[in-house]
Structure 1
Amino acid sequence: MDVGSIAQLSTTMAETGTRNEVGMAVLKKAQDIQSSTATALIEALPPVPSAPNLPSHLGNRINTTA
């Protein structure tokens, strides 16, 4: 192996490491943005209205023989 190929290999390895670090930083930032967007969407949902005038026995049994 000559000196030129060793230097080129070293440079390529350093560039690959830098690319991986930048890629991970971008991924983490994208996840942070998605998390804050999802939180904002969930908080923007209106409260679920209660169903007035329904009997209290509704929803207590499931028909499994349909």
Structure 2
Amino acid sequence: MNVATIAAAASANSAATVQAQASLLVLKKAMDLQQSGAAQLLQALPQPAVAPIPGATVGGSIDLFV
């Protein structure tokens, strides 16, 4: 093998490694942003209303007149 060929292959391998690391960092940052956005949306949800006890409120029965 030629020394120049080996050097070019090593350089290409190094560049691919750096690119893969950069891609992982971008992916992690995007996932962190999504997690933050989802947490904010969950905090913005209103608290659910408490369901009334059946029969304790008006409208618990229906009168039918025929």
TM-score by length of 2: 0.77
| Higher relative contact order (Cα pairs below 8 Å, separated by 6+ residues) | 2
Structure ID, larger Rg: 2
Tell me the matched-pair count. Answer: 55
The residue type paired with residue 50 of structure 1 is V
Give 5+ residue unaligned stretches, structure 1: 56-66
- Once superposed, which parts of structure 1, at least 4 consecutive aligned residues long, lie more than 4 Å away? none
Give 5+ residue unaligned stretches, structure 2: 56-66
Residue 51 of structure 1, CA deviation = 1.3
The residue type paired with residue 37 of structure 2 is T
Percent identical across equivalent pairs?
A: 35
TM-score by length of 1: 0.77
Aligned partner of 2:18 in structure 1 is: 18
